[in-house]
Chains A and B, each alone.
Chain A
Amino acid sequence: MRIALQDLVSIHPALRGHPIEFTKSGGFALQRAGHASPASAEIEHDGALKTAEVEWTMEDIALLNVLDKHRVTEDGAEAVALAYVNSDAGWKVKRRLQRGECADWLLRNETGWLALEVSGTIVGNPRARLEEKKTQVSRCSLAVDRLAVVVAFDKPAVLAARP
């Protein structure tokens, strides 16, 4: 599997013109953790294990000194998660959801709709975070599929699970 952050805007046309440069944030978060493109990532999706090559355009990490650490993690995790779900099942962004919907993004593919909740970790055990996010997205009342994704930048790894 290939997770190409540099292709994010072309695979999700809805992100065109978005002022948040998710691709850059993904690169920053991965490089901050000591990785270089391409990086081999562990994927665990509903218990199934696989690997992926994560690619991005290398960034000047000196810029990290002037960026919000938490926002880089959050936006970087969204970049990796949105690229992953497209690579995995062809999901494309429809729109962002308000927090009250208990998910970050609404996506669609040929078979239906997905509410996606995303989080990122810099260090530590991402499984506890995944459980939190599964609980959160389980509260999404929309009649759609639901998925929680946590990106662990230190490994790197992508953990995905349905509630």
Chain B
Amino acid sequence: MKENELRATTEDELDAFVSIAIRRAEILNDSGSASACEAWQEVLLYEERLAKITQPAEIAGGVARVGAVRAALASGQRGEAKRLATEYLAEELLPPERRAAINRAFDEDQDYLARRFPALARRGRLAELDLWRSEALAPPRVFPWAWAV
């Protein structure tokens, strides 16, 4: 999706897009597809845009901010997740439960990866997954709307 197209998209449209994208990413995730990383990248794109156009104190704004952090983690972009978390946690109006949810997302992602890759977890090698997942985001790409260009 082009950056200017994304900026012109309304909240209602983004809600529909993110709903579709979440379902797709979760199905790909459950089936163990390598394309799941890119599908989560598309979720991240919509959640981040929703976070930009909503207020942190609103229910929808809080959902989008936590959703952006979760989607970044699910797509294997831990650095981006940390950057977003820092940005959102700096917003004074973000409710305490949303702050807790952002912090919890990192622990839950580690727990999920440890369950899914127990051998790597036992050897303390979960960090290597970030590299593998970032490579899964490299071209050829399956979902052209997953990227703002």
By a beta-carbon cutoff of 8 Å, the part of chain A in contact with chain B is 13-20, 93-101, 106, 113, 141-144
Chain B residues 70-122 with CB under 8 Å of chain A are 70-71, 95, 97-98, 100-101, 105, 108
Nearest residue, chain A, Cβ from B58: A113
Picked from A18, A100, A101, A143, the residue with its CB within 8 Å of the CB of B95 is A143
In the bound complex, how far is the Cα of B13 from the Cα of A16, in angstroms? 10
Determine the interface band of chain B, counting residues with CB < 8 A from chain A. 20 to 34
Secondary structure of the B contact surface, majority rule: helix
**Can you show 23 pairs from A to B with CB atoms below 8 A apart?**
A14-B15, A14-B19, A17-B16, A18-B19, A19-B20, A20-B23, A94-B60, A96-B19, A96-B23, A97-B22, A98-B67, A99-B26, A100-B70, A100-B101, A101-B63, A101-B67, A101-B101, A106-B63, A141-B101, A142-B59, A142-B63, A143-B59, A144-B59
Nearest residue, chain B, Cβ from A71: B27
Q: Which residues of B contact A113 (CB under 8 A)?
A: 59
Give A152 Cβ to nearest chain B Cβ, in Å.
23
